[in-house]
Structure 1
């Protein structure tokens, strides 16, 4: 009876000769499609190398292109945000009023008299020297 149980639980295609060897290994080397697969696998294995060479060779143009695309995307997002702000009913006229008020104040404060224009030029020169250094 014990041999019947052992026969029922051990499938016919399992190898019990070596421990850990459950099935016989089939060879894929004789398959006709393998001659088509090997070149594809070789090319796919070299893809990271090709990409690395491409990026190292064209680093400067790719950086320029990336910055250009980033600039375009930033302008598009800014336009979309300003369009959304413009659609808020009272916010657009209030912001226009603030802008006109600041422009009127700037003209009155710095551009109306010659002495004030000289003061503005002095502040501008001080800011320029602070940013770019003293060129005297």
Structure 2
């Protein structure tokens, strides 16, 4: 450093004095934990306010009221998502089984056999077709709760 610049250092504030023909200029630089402490506490208090708002919104009373108000859409959405997940898992299992050698032809034979039995059991005779129609109407009534003719 040149002899005309004097430096005074402390742990928290540095003061630089420059002496020349012009007026004296003094610069103070703040460093260390004091410069960021106020910003950190402000950020912390903002996060605490946000956290308090989230806690208030997700409190048991608010969630219970929200569920009571939107019970039907929530249940339908849950059932649809659950059904889609179940379908995806079932298709993945069937795809994995289908990759096993000789399982695909075995499934085809089972399908052909069941179709042949169904045709023989319910479609060939008029009396069995009436029985099938009666069973179908009963199942439809059980599902819908009424019989529509």
Give the TM-score range, shorter chain: 0.5 to 0.7
Hey, what does 1:48 align to over in structure 2? 55
The aligned runs of 1:24-39 (5 Å cut-off) are 31-32=37-38, 33-39=40-46
- What's the CA shift for 1:82? 0.8
TM-score scaled to structure 2, two decimals? 0.55
- Structure 1: stretches of 5+ with no match in the other structure: 1-30
The aligned runs of 1:76-115 (5 Å cut-off) are 76-115=88-127
The aligned runs of 1:11-30 (5 Å cut-off) are none
- What's the CA shift for 1:105? 1.1
The structure that is strand-richer by fraction is 2
Alignment partners' CA distance in 2, 1:46 and 1:131 = 45
- Structure 2: stretches of 5+ with no match in the other structure: 1-36
What RMSD over aligned residues (CA atoms) do the two structures have, in Å? 3.2
TM-score scaled to structure 1, two decimals? 0.59
Corresponding residue pairs, total: 106
- What's the CA shift for 1:64? 3.8
Higher relative contact order (CA 8 A, sep 6+): 2
